[in-house]
Amino acid sequence: MLNKVEICGVNTSNLPVLKNERMRDLFLRVKQNDRQAREELIRGNLRLVLSVIQRFNHRGEYVDDLFQVGCIGLIKAIDNFDLEQNVRFSTYAVPMIIGEIRRYLRDNNPVRVSRSLRDVAYKALQVREQLLAEKSREPTIAEIADRLEVSQEEVVFALDAIQEPVSLFEPIYNDGGDPILVMDQISDDKTTDELWLEGISIREALKKLSEREKLILTLRFFEGKTQMEVAEEIGISQAQVSRLEKAALKHMKKYI
């Protein structure tokens, strides 16, 4: 996806970049219903769409589909952008492009959410934006529920229902070595000797490890700390903790 040059028939390596003065001139012409200026604005900002869809490359979606959906968000941003507001167009457009793509992913999510629940969630998101503009602060759930005339519990439940599920095996960082997964960030306070390897003599195997390997496994699996917490405690990087942890577990298997 990252190396793809032609997307939906568009050669992304040749996309233009518009200067601020040209952008302003085109927006003024768009307000006068100049279709040619609108087309130039769209093409001149397609790089914004490309930068946004990079964030979703782990979802396994077709890049062409994401690009087309992102373009819809870009067009909406162009049609609704107000030159009088003291904000850069990219600052205004990127959240709209992201929102359009997330809406597409939610609607095509294999985890099905009822239409009525999605409607409440989308209305809640719209009301949030309205209240944010009115009050210049993040609105509370109570304020959103009051505007929608529904209960706070219904708003919370609806918003939770449209959240995208994340795989425990999704990589969140990679420094060229072993990737750090979501599950590596999750502490487990319930892990015990008996549950971990069902009564096998773990402590005897731990004695075969170096002091640093022993410390890492103790902090991770006996005290339930995350790799980040372990890294901070012993003064090395999280990537190093990940590598040492895997090597130590592999070493222990020889004695179990």
Confirm whether 111-165 and 171-255 share one CATH topology. yes
Contact between 113 and 161 under an 8 Å Cβ cutoff? The reply is: yes
CA distance 238 to 224: 15
Sites in the chain below the pLDDT cut of 70: 1-9, 11-12, 58-60, 109-113, 164-170, 172-177, 182-202, 256
For residue 111, the model assigns a pLDDT of 59
Angstrom distances, CA of residue 222 to CA of 184, 187, 204, 233, 244: 15, 10, 15, 15, 16
For residue 1, the model assigns a pLDDT of 44
What's the fold here for domain 111-165? Arc Repressor Mutant, subunit A (1.10.10)
For residue 2, the model assigns a pLDDT of 46
Domain ranges of the chain: 1-108, 111-165, 171-255
* CA-based radius of gyration for the chain: 25
Is the domain covering 171-255 a CATH 1.10.10.10 domain? yes
Q: Which CATH number fits domain 1-108: 1.10.10.10, 3.30.930.10, 1.20.120.1810, 3.60.15.10?
A: 1.20.120.1810
Q: Give the closest residue to 53 by CA, choosing from 44, 62, 42.
A: 62
Q: Do the strands 10-11 and 6-7 form a parallel or antiparallel pair, or are they unpaired?
A: antiparallel
